[in-house]
Homo-oligomer: A and B are copies of this chain.
Amino acid sequence: MGNTPPVGRKVTLSDIAAGCDVSRATVSLVLRGSPLVNKHTRARVEEELRRQGYVYNRAAANLRRRTSSSIALVLNDLANPFFAEFAAGVDEVLGDTGYVTLLGSSSESIERELAVLGSLMEHGPAGIILSPAEGGDAQQLLSAVGGQTPLLLFNREVGGDISTCDHWDRLFLDNQRGAWLATEHLISQGHQRIAFYGGHGSSSSCKQRRAGYAEAMQAHGLPVDSHWMVECAPNRLDAVAQSEHLFNSGKAPTAAVCYNDAVALGLMLGLHQRGLQPGRDFALTGFDDIAEAAVSAPPLTTLAVTPRARGRQAAELIMLRLQDPSAPPRQTIVPVQLLVRASSCPPHA
């Protein structure tokens, strides 16, 4: 009874239509739950859909309707737990909204970022969530994504002439206040010689964190030795390698505000190598509250940024933008929360 599904080819609307003797248009209406179709017809069609194992071809529908059902998510470092959590949050919300996530990872390489964006653009995403690689250029990015597709910039400002990208939405962490909180905390613990350790001075987030640090130091009339501003790549490995620079000058610091948790954990190792015990002989703070922060030795005082919630927020922001493409661009700065743990001890007597 009934004819059989096609072989080696996907089942289409036409197959269903032929299978129950109605037009393609009617089947299409059924699929979209239109109230126009008769109850009995609907039942027959739905039965046939099931019988032939039909799967909707959203690409074809999108083509015809000139719509899109995907969002591109391009991250500078997916392997970083912070961004992994972020991605999970994004995907959670997008999935609920019926969108699908086109993933791209740039591994902090600008060429790759542009290549990935180019490739994703060919799939016509409705919007883009981008955490840019360091050192990217606004012009280049703009020409890669075009002026049509709404973009949400996450986590970092881009380099170059920003004025051409001022229609983009932005979602940033309150880096400055975060670093300020950490510095204030160390000062209230009694520290006076406090370093700012790690990060690349050229990146926007590093600049902001340094500004918060400087603000707190200045407010308390504490001097900042130039040797206390140490740069290193934002990962554990380089943080270990560069840690000696903290102690090269005459007046060694007794505490450090670190660029992020990875750097702080690296610095802990470096301290151990010098025979210093972090959390007793030296105080430090991180930034991000990655999972390891709570279980390191000692547990790391840090700033919680709840990346999964940020991911959800990013997805919601881009949804809002899709609903109202002409609304003025919005910049969101989310507060961060200081978590005090054992690593930020008072100065060693």
Contact = CB atoms under 8 A, between A and B. Distances in A.
A110 interface: no
Contact of A119 (B98, B119, B295): B98
Interface stretch (A19-27, A80-88, A197-205, A333-341): A80-88
Contact of A95 (B57, B62, B104): B104
A320 interface: no
Copies of this chain: 2
Contact of A84 (B60, B62, B79, B268): B79
A148 interface: yes
B57 A122 contact: yes
A102 B123 CA distance: 11
Contacts of A87: 78, 84, 87, 103, 105
A56 interface: yes
A304 B206 CA distance: 33
A92 interface: yes
Contacts of A348: none
A265 B296 CA distance: 10
Contacts of A121: 55
B101 A102 contact: yes
A107 interface: yes
A79 B81 contact: yes
Contacts of A268: 295
Given A10-B148, A292-B295, A88 B78 contact: yes
A58 B103 CA distance: 16
A120 B95 CA distance: 10
Interface residues of A, number: 56
Contacts of A66: 9
A42 B205 CA distance: 45
Contacts of A105: 87-88, 91-92, 95
A11 to B, nearest CB: 9
A227 B53 CA distance: 49
Contacts of A53: 146
A265 B122 CA distance: 44
A341 to B, nearest CB: 13
Contacts of A265: 295
Contacts of A308: 79
A165 interface: no
Given A92-B105, A95-B112, A236-B291, 11 more contacts: A53-B146, A57-B122, A58-B124, A59-B63, A59-B123, A78-B84, A98-B119, A269-B295, A296-B296, A296-B297, A297-B297
Interface of A: 9-10, 53, 55-60, 62-63, 66, 69-70, 73, 78-81, 83-85, 87-88, 91-92, 95, 98, 100-105, 107, 112, 115-116, 119-124, 146, 148, 236, 265, 268-269, 291-292, 295-297, 308
22 contacts: A53-B146, A55-B122, A57-B63, A58-B123, A60-B63, A70-B123, A78-B87, A78-B91, A79-B81, A81-B291, A91-B105, A92-B107, A100-B102, A100-B103, A102-B103, A236-B295, A265-B295, A268-B295, A292-B296, A295-B296, A296-B296, A297-B297
